Structure 1
Amino acid sequence: MGKLTDIQIRAWIKANERFEQRGDGDGLCLCFRENYAVPVWKFRYRFAGKQRIVILGSYSVLSLADARKTAKELSARVALGHDVAGEKQERKKAAIAKIEAEKNAVTVAQLCDEFFERIILPTWKHSDIVRRRIENDIKPCIGKMKAEDVKPRDVDDMLQTIVKRGAPTIANDVLRWTKRIFDFAVKRHVVIYNPASAFDPSDAGGKEESRDRWLTREEIIQLFQVMREMLGTFSVENLYAVRLLLLLAVRKEELIAAPWSEFDLDNAVWHLPAERTKTSSAIDIPLPPLALETLKELHRLANGRICVFPARKAQHRMIPHIDLNTLNAAMAKHIRPRLKDVPNFTIHDFRRTARTHLAALGVDPFVAERCLNHKIKGVEGIYNRHDYFDERKAALNEWANLLKALEEGKPDYNVIPMKKAKKGNTAT
């Protein structure tokens, strides 16, 4: 039989004439079995004394001319000693393996989630701090990448993005957590090496200096004036949060995540349990009248929900309180731009502000330190278990009076320094 023609092939298709093989020469043949919708091109050759076949494709996608060209190329490779059928099988296996690998690859986002669930949740009291760094900084930059594909340059790009937005301390935090996350990945054989291992703080936010920022009377007056002016865009709950953070000198996460069950408003005490404090030390916090007034209004606004600052959006139902970053974001967006003449400050600086004004009010250093739930250092801290509750109550009442005056725009509130408190009895 001579060379095939397109006219012949179309005639066979039209007549539905079935056949096992009709050759075109040089190993190229056409097959039209009963179970084929259209004829299929095959290339036949011998390799190491055995008959080998390569399926080239159907007539509907590979024309007679293209089939001949392909067969000629394959014949030349066979002449050079290549097993083209075997090579095709290897390519197919490699393609399938790559697809499976892609399907099973662990992304950085998945790695972060597993690290958070296995390492952070079981051991960290304030796990939201880590979750915030993961969700706000790591995932947006490299979360979609396969963990094994992350290179040092990707880590550097992520860190520099954070530094350029003016958050060097956060860049240092992100570096620390990225290192730990990829160390976790190395242990699980997800990656071979840690792409963040060569970095240190000088590559991120630099050496962190101890902060000494606190707000003066005039700055506190300006802060509350701007917050009142922005009510509507800056919620009254946010204003109350700032007031309570300044007044009670507690940490942000201790207040934001507080449930109402910790508060005894009738006796004006907040029972802050050890598991929710940074120092793992429970403390009873006396509530001055200004704090009670604020908390009662927040209780009304909470409308029966379990937290002092309940979640405001439906998508946060899994967390009963507002996100720990909510107040920071609201301050940055609505308040800081209107305080252009006030040097930058952070919410954490409110504790230092309270401590500084307590000192100005003549509060004994032991009492002031206990107001911040700081442990007393040295031998005194080991043997003295007196909690200075009455002294702390008097001190916070004085500070509340001053803070209320400043909220009302009265910078010249008359301060009469308190008498130094006597140290409490040592515990037996």
Structure 2
Amino acid sequence: MGKLTDMQIRAWIKAGERFEGRADGDGLWLRFREADTVPVWRFRYRFAGKQRTMQVGSYAELSLAKAREAAKELTARVALGYDVAAEKQERKAKAVAKIEAEKAALHVIDLANEYYERMILGRWKHPDIVRRRIDKDIGPHLGKMKVEDVKPRHIDDMLRDIVKRGAPTIANDVLRWTRRMFDYAIKRHMVEYNPASAFDLGDAGGTEKARKRALSREELVKLFEAMRMAKGFSVENDLTIRLLLLLCVRKMELCAARWEEFDLDEAVWHLPGERTKTGEPIDIPLPSLAVCWLRELRRLSEPSAWVLPARKMEHRMVPHIHEGTIGTALGKVKHEMPGVENFTVHDLRRTARTQLAELGIDPVVAERCLNHKIKGVEGIYNRHDYFTERRDALNRLAALLDALDKGEPYNVTPISKGRKKTA
């Protein structure tokens, strides 16, 4: 039988003619069994005195001309002493092993999640702090990499990106947690070395300095004016910033608040201990102004159980607003405040504390308004909650903020700073 032709092969396919093998010459055969959807090219040769056969490819993949070229190359390789069928099996085995290794590989996000579950969750008072750094920084930068593939340059790139976005303190936190995470991996025999070990704070955000920024009363007037003028600045964001200023709470204490914590009729916010930095619950008195703002937020948030429910689909895995939402919104406001020194969301809390001092509020009462523990021996023996005093202090702060918002003078004489010592 002579050489095969494409016309013959197409005719066999069209007719559905099946066969075990038809030779083209030089070891090239065509097979078309019942189980084959298309004809298959086979290469037959002898190696070490034994007959060997290997599949070259299907007719759909290789034309007759291409199959002949492949057979010629295989013949030449056999002549050089290579067992081409064994080589193919070896390549296939390596490819399968590589696929299986990829499936079994430990990626950085797997390490981060294991570290979080075993070393943070249930041990740390505020595990959500670490969770946010994993979700927002470590995961997006390194998460898809295999743990053994992470090199110092990858750590450096991650830290540089965080600093570049204007978050040096977060860069320091990310470095700390990444270093601890890889130390954990070494202990568990997941990696041999820590790619973050050579880095210090100088390579991340630098030495952290305590911020001192607080807005003056003149700047607060400008803030309220800017919130009314800023484009794309929602009512929810406006009320949130006002509540942060008035109630002296931390950003996430308000952002993650549920309506079940509030008794608006009694004007009290029962903030649970698991959501405070001190780990202790606290009842926060609500000035009538705060109650009005909260009732408006309740109307806007219905039917959600959260005071500030998530607004974007990408954040719906967290039911309340994202940690960066208020900071982003504040950026729109600061655009309307040219000439005013930059300030952050956390600076609002320092501003509230400063204004309490200017109002002459007793320092211990002011500190308790911020839910700071009383320091020293007095903090050990004085278990008074100062609820009444805190209510009076926040009412005075509310009167000040309301006057500044309306552009009215605030001339109330500060109360006496003296206080009775508690045994």
Band of TM-score, shorter chain: 0.7 to 0.9
Identify if the C-alpha distance between structure 1 residues 407 and 123 changes in structure 2 by more than 3 Å, giving closer, same or farther: farther
Partner in structure 2 of residue 417 of structure 1: 414
Partner in structure 2 of residue 386 of structure 1: 384
Residue pair 1:43, 1:56 contacting (<8 A) in 2 also: no
Residue pair 1:363, 1:395 contacting (<8 A) in 2 also: yes
Partner in structure 2 of residue 38 of structure 1: 39
Residue pair 1:42, 1:57 contacting (<8 A) in 2 also: no
Q: Cα distance, 1:32 vs. partner?
A: 3.7
Q: Cα distance, 1:217 vs. partner?
A: 0.8
Amino acid at match of 2:232: T
Report whether the alignment pairs 1:132 with 2:132: yes
Identify if the C-alpha distance between structure 1 residues 64 and 324 changes in structure 2 by more than 3 Å, giving closer, same or farther: closer
Q: Cα distance, 1:227 vs. partner?
A: 0.5
Amino acid at match of 1:206: G
1:130-150 superposed Cα distances (whole Å, 9 cap, x missing partner): 443333333443344444433
Amino acid at match of 1:43: R
Partner in structure 1 of residue 53 of structure 2: 53
Residue pair 1:20, 1:33 contacting (<8 A) in 2 also: yes
Identify if the C-alpha distance between structure 1 residues 44 and 213 changes in structure 2 by more than 3 Å, giving closer, same or farther: same
Residue pair 1:363, 1:421 contacting (<8 A) in 2 also: no
Identify if the C-alpha distance between structure 1 residues 406 and 23 changes in structure 2 by more than 3 Å, giving closer, same or farther: closer
Give me the whole-angstrom Cα distance separating, in 1, the residues matched to 2:184 and 2:105. Answer: 16
Q: Cα distance, 1:208 vs. partner?
A: 0.9
Report whether the alignment pairs 1:343 with 2:360: no
1:401-416 maps to which residues of 2 (within 5 A)?
A: 401-410=399-408, 412-416=409-413
1:338 is paired with a residue whose SS is coil
The farther-off stretch of 241-250 and 180-189 is 180-189
1:369 is paired with a residue whose SS is helix
Unaligned runs of at least 5 residues, structure 2: none
Partner in structure 2 of residue 154 of structure 1: 154
Give me the whole-angstrom Cα distance separating, in 1, the residues matched to 2:154 and 2:341. Answer: 33
2:335 is paired with a residue whose SS is helix
Identify if the C-alpha distance between structure 1 residues 256 and 21 changes in structure 2 by more than 3 Å, giving closer, same or farther: closer
Partner in structure 2 of residue 374 of structure 1: 372
Give me the whole-angstrom Cα distance separating, in 1, the residues matched to 2:384 and 2:127. Answer: 31
Identity between Structure 1 and Structure 2 (%): 58
Partner in structure 1 of residue 236 of structure 2: 237
Q: Cα distance, 1:105 vs. partner?
A: 3.8
1:83-108 superposed Cα distances (whole Å, 9 cap, x missing partner): 33222211110011122233444444
Residue pair 1:299, 1:308 contacting (<8 A) in 2 also: yes
Give me the whole-angstrom Cα distance separating, in 2, the residues matched to 1:34 and 1:299. Answer: 72
1:89 is paired with a residue whose SS is helix
Q: Cα distance, 1:215 vs. partner?
A: 0.7
Give me the whole-angstrom Cα distance separating, in 2, the residues matched to 1:141 and 1:304. Answer: 36
What TM-score comes out, normalization by structure 1 length?
A: 0.84
What TM-score comes out, normalization by structure 2 length?
A: 0.85
Give me the whole-angstrom Cα distance separating, in 1, the residues matched to 2:311 and 2:10. Answer: 72
Amino acid at match of 1:288: P
1:197-276 maps to which residues of 2 (within 5 A)?
A: 197-230=197-230, 233-276=232-275
The farther-off stretch of 237-246 and 177-186 is 177-186
1:15-26 maps to which residues of 2 (within 5 A)?
A: 18=19, 22=23, 24-25=25-26
Residue pair 1:13, 1:38 contacting (<8 A) in 2 also: no
1:43 is paired with a residue whose SS is strand
The farther-off stretch of 275-284 and 215-224 is 275-284
Partner in structure 2 of residue 312 of structure 1: 311
Residue pair 1:41, 1:59 contacting (<8 A) in 2 also: no
The farther-off stretch of 101-110 and 235-244 is 101-110
Identify if the C-alpha distance between structure 1 residues 340 and 142 changes in structure 2 by more than 3 Å, giving closer, same or farther: farther
The farther-off stretch of 10-19 and 73-82 is 10-19
Identify if the C-alpha distance between structure 1 residues 318 and 164 changes in structure 2 by more than 3 Å, giving closer, same or farther: closer
The farther-off stretch of 104-113 and 355-364 is 104-113
Give me the whole-angstrom Cα distance separating, in 2, the residues matched to 1:51 and 1:153. Answer: 53
Amino acid at match of 2:245: L
Across the aligned residues of Structure 1 and Structure 2, the Cα RMSD in angstroms comes to: 3.3
1:354-373 maps to which residues of 2 (within 5 A)?
A: 354-373=352-371
Partner in structure 1 of residue 291 of structure 2: 292
Give me the whole-angstrom Cα distance separating, in 2, the residues matched to 1:146 and 1:347. Answer: 36
Report whether the alignment pairs 1:329 with 2:332: no
Residue pair 2:6, 2:64 contacting (<8 A) in 1 also: no
Residue pair 2:22, 2:31 contacting (<8 A) in 1 also: yes
1:316-337 superposed Cα distances (whole Å, 9 cap, x missing partner): 55544322222112112x1122
Residue pair 2:220, 2:404 contacting (<8 A) in 1 also: yes
Residue pair 1:310, 1:322 contacting (<8 A) in 2 also: yes
